[in-house]
Amino acid sequence: MKQSDILPCQIQQWYPRFHSVSIRTILLPLPESFIDFLLDDGGLFLPKTNEDEDALPARVKITCPDLQAEDYHPWQEEEEEEEGGGQHPANAATFPDLEKAVKESIKTLGGFVFPKLNWSAPKDTAWISTNGTLKCSSFSEIVLLLKASDSLVHDLCHAFDSCEDKTLERPSQFYLALRKWYDLRPEMEFRGFVKGGVLVGICQREVTGFYPALLEKLDQLEDSIFDFFREYISEKFETLDYAFDCYVRKDGKVKLVDFNPWGGFTLPLLFTWEDLGSKYVEADERINVMVANRALKGDLRLTDKTELNLRLREEGYKLDFRVVESEGCVQPSLRASSGVPYDYIDTGPGSAWDEFLRKADEEIKRQANAAGA
């Protein structure tokens, strides 16, 4: 994987081009002081805001004077808390401009949003919210999710760790993307995998549940997602190897949700990266046959991806569409059991950890050979 594969997957890079077929989103550039605040591990203190005190109430203290002895004295911690105001340290950060922009954006988007940074959303902290989701209606709720999230550290510090040509430590600018909230049905979210510009696989996004109704309309769903990819994505996205997340509405229309790089910290879900690579080898063989038979121009594979995908389908190439087919095939939710996103636990071939361990092993061998010499 290269940096040029990861950079286009930032939401501020792709959303302006695909906004008409995606979820309505407002992008807010984040000041460096706010990034420093998110990375500060000095405690989970929220910034001072101008919001109503009821937005995130301070801890309530219950006292019972009648039950306290005459010689009762508060603990040192209680005294320090009272001196500090109970919720914020004396030097708590403030971000009035950002807070104002967030409030205006939430209002514009209908009162409820879900937040994400350049690549990732704080899914690992959904349990903190009062509704168990990323649905937010205030600046404080958004900051709480961002500040408590470990998965966002990937965006902030490790986005390029899997790149063989790594020269960047982090993006030049971070953004807060506020996306209009919808109550999406998890079984209608899907991930498409594109290699060499060819759509080689589609997978159910929520692999921790079995949805029998999906089995009855796989062909219909496949046609809808393929047509959406062919019409709106294949010629417009910058790279040839990537994954895209989409949502199929009740009326059959498809909405783009996100883009992800091929490999690295992107989950292959019900596939392995070897599965997907072999599917592309099969597609490539069919392309070579069509070129040899003059049924396809040799340069078509490098130019018109829309036509290439259509011709492959007409020639009988079957992309791999996988869903959970029974209760016994449901995958466990590692986030629910451990609090750690699956992206950071997946050690399968082609995963980010697999790549990291391979490079570490190569470095150890290199150092050993240097020492032996």
Residue-wise pLDDT tens digits, 16-66: 999 999 999 999 999 999 999 999 875 555 666 665 444 444 433 444 555
Q: What is the DSSP letter of 298?
A: G
Q: What is 207-240 written as a DSSP string?
A: TTS--HHHHHTHHHHHHHHHHHIIIIITTTSS-S
Residue 344: pLDDT over 60: no
For tokens 């000095």, the residue is 42
Give me the pLDDT at residue 137, please: 96
Per-residue pLDDT band for 277 (boundaries 50, 70, 90) equals: very high
Question: Which of 341, 49, 372, 319 is closest to 192 using CA atoms?
Answer: 319
pTM of the model: 0.78
**Residue 243: strand pairing partners:** 193, 260
Question: What is the reported pLDDT for 304?
Answer: 85
pLDDT in tens, 110-163: 999 999 999 999 999 999 888 889 999 999 999 999 999 988 988 899 889 888
Q: How confident is the model at residue 341 (pLDDT cuts 50, 70, 90)?
A: very low
Whole-angstrom distance, CA of residue 153 vs CA of residue 4: 20
Q: Are 120 and 157 in contact (CB under 8 A)?
A: no
Q: For the segment 60-116, what is each residue's pLDDT rounded down to a tens digit?
A: 344 455 545 555 555 554 555 455 444 555 456 789 999 999 999 999 999 999 999
Mean pLDDT score, 161-167:
88
Pick the more confident residue, 247 or 90. Answer: 247
Tokens (6 digits) for 128: 């903190």
What's the chain's average pLDDT? 83
Q: Facing residues of 189 across strands?
A: 247
> Taking residues 303-313, what's their average pLDDT?
88
Which has the closest alpha carbon to 56: 43, 65, 47, 64? 47
Give me 55's structure tokens.
């937005």
Quick one: which of 192, 372, 358, 200 has its CA closest to 278?
200
Separation in Å, CA 263 to CA 50, 225, 257, 280, 370: 42, 21, 18, 14, 31
Distances (CA, A) of 336 to 135, 200, 207, 319, 332: 18, 30, 13, 31, 9
Instruction: Report d(CA 184, CA 248) in Å as an integer.
Output: 10
Extents of the domains making up the chain: 3-51+91-180, 186-331, 335-372
Q: Name residue 195's beta-bridge partners.
A: 198
**pLDDT for residue 336:** 43
- pLDDT above 90 covers what percent of the chain? 54
Q: Which residue has the higher pLDDT, 57 or 284?
A: 284
Report the C-alpha gap between 189 and 186 in whole angstroms.
Answer: 6
What pLDDT does residue 340 have? 46
Q: Which residues contact 183 (CB under 8 A, 6 or more apart)?
A: none
Q: Which residue has the higher pLDDT, 301 or 37?
A: 37
Q: Report phi then psi at 86, rounded to 5.
A: 90, -25
